[in-house]
Amino acid sequence: MPGMIEDEGTDKAGTPDRVLRLSDFGQPQPGRVIAEMRAYWSSLRQGRAIPARADVTPLGLRATLDFAFILERIAPGAARFRLAGKHLIDLLGMEARGMPLCALMNPGYRGRLSDVLETVFQGPQIVEADLLSPASYGRPELTGRLLLLPLRSDLGDVTRALGCLVSVGEAGAPPRRFDLGAERADPVIEGGRVLTPSPSALGMAEPPATWRPAPRPPIIEEETPEERRARFRIISND
């Protein structure tokens, strides 16, 4: 049958023991890619809690290069791509470098992604998340997984992240955007505290001031209407 191959084993009737679909061999395996990326990040630590951005090399990423990316934190809860692999470019239908990470999300999930991303830098901690791109015209359903791993910049602060995004399914017409599913966080040091995502603060905004009504002039009950009218003054520009 087209699109299928048989393994070597057959039963007594000559029927194949197993039928393997050729289409199964072209799909990425998110679990394998995620595991290899985490193992590579751990290998860069060399006794440190968090590796440096300068330690990451294309040669070290060769097994996961198509799915890999590097982020730069540009504001609380916001980061842009400094480098991105081919898989990400195919999903967006354009060069990803310089674009914000939230460009991969459907609008209703960008706020949540921002909160989750900030925990990677502030924890710092490791985050994995499930992704879903619902089916629409010209776009079959996609599932995927996202991994974010903190990195130190040349200045020593945690403002970089190594990550990967792996989707399974036919990409269809770009750009493809995702809903954010369940996320899982791990501390960079075993037994450490995990930071829970919380709604982002409004940047440099100050707390709203308490509203107080303007004081009203006292009403002198003893005045007659004629006396109150006599206190009015007419102002003229002439």
The pLDDT tens digits for 60-100 are: 999 899 999 999 999 999 999 999 999 999 999 999 999 99
**Interacting residues of 169 by C-beta distance below 8 A, sequence separation 6+:** 27, 133, 140, 141, 142, 143
Q: Where are the alpha helices (DSSP H) in the chain?
A: 30-45, 86-92, 110-122, 225-230
Closest CA to 105 of 12, 183, 214: 183
Q: What is the pLDDT of residue 116?
A: 96
Distance, in Å, from the CA atom of 178 to the CA atom of 26, rounded to the nearest integer, reads 22
Q: What is the pLDDT of residue 72?
A: 97
pLDDT beneath 50: ranges in the chain: 1-11, 15-16, 19-24, 201-205
Answer whether 151's CB lies under 8 Å from 53's CB. yes
Specify the amino acid at residue 81: F
pTM over 0.75: no
